[in-house]
Amino acid sequence: MSQEGCLFCRIVRRQLPAEIVAEADGLIAVKDVNPQAPTHLLIIPTEHIASLADLTEAHTTLMGKALQLGNRLARQYHLTPDGYRVVINCGPQAGQSVWHVHVHLLGGRPLQWPPG
Ligand code: DGP
């Protein structure tokens, strides 16, 4: 189910422009509009789920597929073998700004740890 005013639901419905790089299994992957690394993609379930904390048992396969899609895109974008990072920000203190769960895939430069 999609939510009317949600930014990522609107991208899923093609009501907002986005560079879509993959679409499969209830997921789309788009280029982040404000990239923090040479490759910065967002893997977004087409179903509206507000945050990581709202996932249920029913989303286990979906989120597993999100990670598999991340791996596939990492290969496609030549992020292996150097490495890459997947991140899900959950809640305001973690910096979540779009309330529709999404996986960041970042790579193409050395990434610092711990993140800020
Ligand atoms: P987060 O802070 O974890 O909720 O990440 C939200 C990301 O979404 C952030 O990296 C910027 C990105 N973003 C925000 N608005 C848009 C948009 O309209 N299009 C795309 N492609 N990305 C967006």
Which CATH number applies to 7-107: 3.30.450.20, 3.40.50.720, 3.30.428.10, 3.30.470.10? 3.30.428.10
Are 11 and 23 in contact by the 8 Å Cβ rule? The answer is no
Q: 29 near 69, Cβ under 8 Å?
A: yes
Instruction: Respond yes or no: is residue 102 known to be catalytic.
Output: yes
Q: Evaluate: CB of 93 within 6 angstroms of ligand 1.
A: no
Q: Is 89 in the pocket of ligand 1 (CB under 6 A)?
A: yes
Pocket test for ligand 1, best of 51, 88, 98, 100 (most atoms within 8 A of CB): 98
pLDDT tens for the 116 residues of the chain, in order: 678 899 999 999 999 999 999 999 999 999 999 999 999 999 999 999 999 999 999 999 999 999 999 999 999 999 999 999 999 999 999 999 999 999 999 999 999 999 98
Rounded to 5 degrees, φ, ψ at 17 are: -70, 145
Round to whole Å and give the CA distance between 10 and 72: 25
